[in-house]
């Protein structure tokens, strides 16, 4: 096996590797399976959402500590982005905290809104974790998912969006 093939195999194995504290290796997430529902609504579930950008995933145009700018949305700190729009990420909606981390409800929203590939950020200092039940959800479904430090997550997300992929993401712009 070549070094490149070994690296690819290690990367694939890392997709489902979760640590006891809920963190992943920071390089990739698990492959998960979704069901695009064709919905065009934007914003938190049940909320009116003027921030819709159509079915294309909005692009992140600026990212600095504590500030993000996203195509078609007002500047903010943390965002939930998906095909057709996005909204500020309200951690309280699903009980998200740095630890245990991103909750299954956060990920389900992306899938329900039509994302077939997910990018989950760990924060600029990688303090945000991925909760064990979320890792389990990622293992059980078939949507492609990647876990990265926030700057790397934004770069990957933008690349996927520019390529026309129906990408969704959770972005935390501080620690």
Residue 41 lies in a domain: no
pLDDT digits (tens, 9 = 90+) for 102-123: 999 999 999 999 999 999 999 9
Check if the beta carbon of residue 174 is closer than 8 Å to that of residue 123: yes
> Helix or strand or coil: residue 14?
helix
Please tell me the total number of residues recorded for the chain in this structure. Answer: 175
Residue 42 lies in a domain: no
Residue 80 lies in a domain: yes
pLDDT digits (tens, 9 = 90+) for 22-73: 333 333 333 223 222 222 233 344 433 333 345 899 999 999 999 999 999 9
Q: By C-alpha distance, which of 25, 1, 22 is closest to 13?
A: 25
pTM of the full structure: 0.72
- β-pairing, 85-88 vs 144-148, is unpaired
Q: Where in the sequence is the domain holding 163, given as residue range(s)? A: 3-34+52-172
Residue 15 lies in a domain: yes
User: What is the spatial distance between Cα 6 and Cα 21, in angstroms, rounded to a whole number?
Assistant: 27
CATH of the domain at 95: 3.40.1230.10
Check if the beta carbon of residue 107 is closer than 8 Å to that of residue 137: yes
Domains identified in the chain, total number: 1
């Amino acid at each position: 096996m070549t070094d490149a093939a070994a690296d690819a195999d290690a990367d694939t194995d890392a997709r489902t590797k979760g640590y006891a504290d809920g963190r992943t290796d920071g390089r990739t997430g698990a492959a998960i399976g979704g069901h695009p529902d064709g919905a065009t609504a934007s914003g938190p579930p049940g909320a009116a959402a003027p921030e819709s950008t159509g079915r294309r995933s909005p692009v992140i145009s600026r990212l600095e500590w504590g500030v993000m700018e996203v195509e078609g949305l007002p500047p903010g700190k943390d965002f939930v982005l998906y095909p057709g729009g996005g909204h500020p990420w309200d951690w309280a909606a699903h009980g998200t905290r740095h630890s245990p981390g991103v909750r299954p409800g956060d990920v389900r929203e992306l899938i329900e809104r039509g994302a077939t590939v997910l990018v989950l950020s760990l924060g600029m200092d990688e303090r945000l974790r991925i909760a064990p039940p979320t890792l389990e959800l990622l293992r059980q479904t078939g949507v492609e998912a990647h876990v990265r430090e926030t700057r790397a997550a934004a770069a990957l997300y933008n690349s996927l969006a520019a390529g026309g992929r129906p990408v969704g993401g959770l972005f935390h712009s501080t620690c």
